[in-house]
Amino acid sequence: MRRFVLLAHKAPVAPDFTLNDLPGSAGRIDVLCRAIGAAFFLSHDLRRDVEVDILLQDQVQIRLVGEKLKRLNPDERSTAALIKHALEKLVGEEEEVQSTPGIFVSRRTLPEMVDRLYQLGAHPVVLHEEGAPFEAASIPDDPAFFLSDHQDFSPTDEEALADLPRVSLGSTPLHTSQCITIVHYLLDRQREDEGDLVMCHKVWEESKAHLIKGLLEDFGIPANLVRHVPPSVLPITVDGLSEVRIMVRPRDLQRAREIISDYFEPPIDE
Amino acid sequence: MRRFVLLAHKAPVAPDFTLNDLPGSAGRIDVLCRAIGAAFFLSHDLRRDVEVDILLQDQVQIRLVGEKLKRLNPDERSTAALIKHALEKLVGEEEEVQSTPGIFVSRRTLPEMVDRLYQLGAHPVVLHEEGAPFEAASIPDDPAFFLSDHQDFSPTDEEALADLPRVSLGSTPLHTSQCITIVHYLLDRQREDEGDLVMCHKVWEESKAHLIKGLLEDFGIPANLVRHVPPSVLPITVDGLSEVRIMVRPRDLQRAREIISDYFEPPIDE
């Protein structure tokens, strides 16, 4: 599961705001609404393996749980209405309550949120300009990414998050929702790349296999060579006659085959 | 300049919609508002080298020009108000008019938009699920990315765009605004990587330089070796004593130095 933890510094903890002025009197709730949308929405679908935990002014936690979530729409106003409704339901409550399907509201502080995540086996990671580059960092399973809203992390936030690993999305300063979109994109890509490599061509000369591998890598396509000795009636392997399979990521397959075709010969795919 | 061309199929061409129901009676104008935000906004800043061209129902073009744009805010409602105002200004006009600073509205069709882009020297590219992988494609200078709204390209769109190159952001189906965010991210990264490599360490043995290069590459950090023969009183180069500089991308510098330090020795940076 991917979790996003949003620390909101100005958004109200009481439901007395108007949906007609989200950036103003509603304390930039529009920032949170866009972040929620970025976390959950696919084109005409919802990411069910996502949880968004919002902390309002270090007092109120609103959790949106993808696998149970209903009534979430992509526009800001309807999402703000769900938050407003959650805050209405919290009035007079001590324990966590479910305000609408998949949305849970309670009174929590940041250290309590971090503790809860550890207890669930999640791995907190702070998205921070000064962190290690995301693409080179090894993101743990079950990550919980901490992000701030339109303001920087407060000194209290920084203190509570001081011991957590930090990763960065580069030097361009982005909106919270944009960071979430990019994190999803990079993790989706990593997951695709972890899948099995596929064969794009096979040759019978080791040297030619290396030529093709080098060519593909010049085009930015990583390739592996797999040697495969076919069953034979001969009790010995004739050197230089073993089959070499050139393996690439599924997303590179079509382009790799085009390149091989342009430079060498029509690719063999079995 | 980066251009994004949004083809909107349901959004109204007349200003008779309410800002309180953007996804409903306003024909999913919320989709366009989020896309505009993704195209222009940085954290507390605006991308000035961006233009967004919106085509409403193949009839009305609204252009948002980054370098002249004023009054744009990140929330959907205020952006929708700017679109509504543009449509009000268009009533009775034949030529393109500026409705608010940086927003221009006119009557155009898709083929006319494509022609205009070519005349400006822009390079149209279609973001399409069936395109070549973005990261491997060579994106031209002055790209103009064509995207659809929440609906697929219509048959008329497909016909008008048939001859344009197509690139894909992978197999996960995304919202228009998410695609724009990712395109910006990938182009920002490419631009950073095109900058000069920086030296992260230097050694005096070629073999050791290769060991370090291999180590860095194991961690996903591309490295180049640059041989540098220092001025010497000797008229000959003593083999194996030339200086080798290990060069990496600026964004990898800190991590490369940490890795070298962990595995070999404190890095030398001049």
Of A240-249, B52-61, B114-123, which gets the smallest average pLDDT? A240-249
User: What is residue B114's predicted lDDT score, i.e. its pLDDT?
Assistant: 96
Give me the percent of chain A exceeding a pLDDT of 90: 62
Task: Return d(Cα A156, Cα A162) in angstroms, integer.
Answer: 10
**Would the ipTM clear 0.95, i.e. be above it?**
no
Contact B54, B8 (CB under 8 A): yes
Nearest CA in chain A to B28: A75
Rama region for A28: left / alpha / beta (φ>0; ψ in -120 to 50; rest): left
- Mean pLDDT for B134-144 is 88
- Asked if domains B2-194 and B198-263 share a fold, the reply is no
Q: Is the pLDDT of residue A132 over 90?
A: no
At B94-114, the pLDDT tens digits run: 899 999 999 999 999 999 999
Q: How many CB pairs under 8 A join A and B?
A: 127
User: What is residue B146's predicted lDDT score, i.e. its pLDDT?
Assistant: 98
Across the interface, whether the CB atoms of B251 and A219 are under 8 A apart is answered: no
Phi, psi for residue B205 in degrees, rounded to 5? -120, 125
Considering the four listed CATH numbers 3.30.70.1530, 3.40.50.360, 3.40.50.11540, 3.40.50.300, the one that applies to the domain covering B198-263 is 3.30.70.1530
The larger pLDDT score, comparing residue B40 to residue B23, is at B40
User: What is residue A184's predicted lDDT score, i.e. its pLDDT?
Assistant: 97
Per CB-CB distance under 8 Å, the chain B contacts of A38 are 178
Considering the four listed CATH numbers 3.30.499.10, 3.40.50.150, 3.40.1280.10, 1.10.150.120, the one that applies to the domain covering B2-194 is 3.40.1280.10
User: What is residue A238's predicted lDDT score, i.e. its pLDDT?
Assistant: 52
The larger pLDDT score, comparing residue A190 to residue A228, is at A190
At A195-251, the pLDDT tens digits run: 778 888 988 888 888 889 888 888 888 888 887 665 555 555 555 567 888 988 888
Give Cα A153 distance to the centre of its chain: 21
Across the interface, whether the CB atoms of B74 and A175 are under 8 A apart is answered: yes
Element (H, E) at B225: strand B224-228
DSSP code per residue over A78-136:
HHHHHHHHHHHHHTT--S-EEEETTEEEEE--HHHHHHHHHHTT-EEEEEEEEEEETTT
Nearest CA in chain B to A180: B178
Q: What's the pLDDT band for B238 if we cut at 50, 70, 90?
A: low
Phi, psi for residue B52 in degrees, rounded to 5? -115, 125
Query: Nearest-CA distance from B220 to chain A in Å?
Result: 6
Give me the percent of chain A exceeding a pLDDT of 70: 94
- Mean pLDDT for B48-72 is 97
Across the interface, whether the CB atoms of B30 and A76 are under 8 A apart is answered: yes
Task: Report which of B110, B118, B20 is spatially closest to residue B59, judged by C-alpha positions.
Answer: B110
Nearest-by-Cβ selection for A30 from B38, B74, B150: B74
The larger pLDDT score, comparing residue B227 to residue A109, is at A109
Q: Is the pLDDT of residue B228 over 90?
A: no
Across the interface, whether the CB atoms of B178 and A181 are under 8 A apart is answered: yes
Query: Nearest-CA distance from B17 to chain A in Å?
Result: 15
Joined together, the tokens standing for residue A242 give 């073993």
The DSSP bridge partners found for residue B166 are B126
Query: What mean pLDDT, rounded, does chain B reach?
Result: 90
Q: Is the pLDDT of residue B138 over 90?
A: no
Across the interface, whether the CB atoms of B175 and A252 are under 8 A apart is answered: no
Per CB-CB distance under 8 Å, the chain B contacts of A135 are 220
- Helix residue ranges, H only, B93-175: 110-119, 155-160
Across the interface, whether the CB atoms of B220 and A43 are under 8 A apart is answered: no
User: What is residue B239's predicted lDDT score, i.e. its pLDDT?
Assistant: 53
Query: Nearest-CA distance from A91 to chain B in Å?
Result: 27
Mutate to test the interface with A, among B44, B73, B169, B178 (most CBs of A within 10 A): B178
Q: Tell me how far CA of residue B17 lies from CA of B24, B29, B31, B151, in angstroms.
A: 9, 10, 15, 20
> Can you give the residue ranges of every domain in chain B?
2-194, 198-263
Mutate to test the interface with B, among A181, A183, A184 (most CBs of B within 10 A): A181
Mutate to test the interface with B, among A76, A79, A249 (most CBs of B within 10 A): A76
User: What is residue A230's predicted lDDT score, i.e. its pLDDT?
Assistant: 56
Across the interface, whether the CB atoms of A74 and B34 are under 8 A apart is answered: yes
At A135-176, the pLDDT tens digits run: 878 888 899 999 999 999 999 999 999 999 999 998 899 999
Mutate to test the interface with A, among B10, B40, B180, B181 (most CBs of A within 10 A): B181
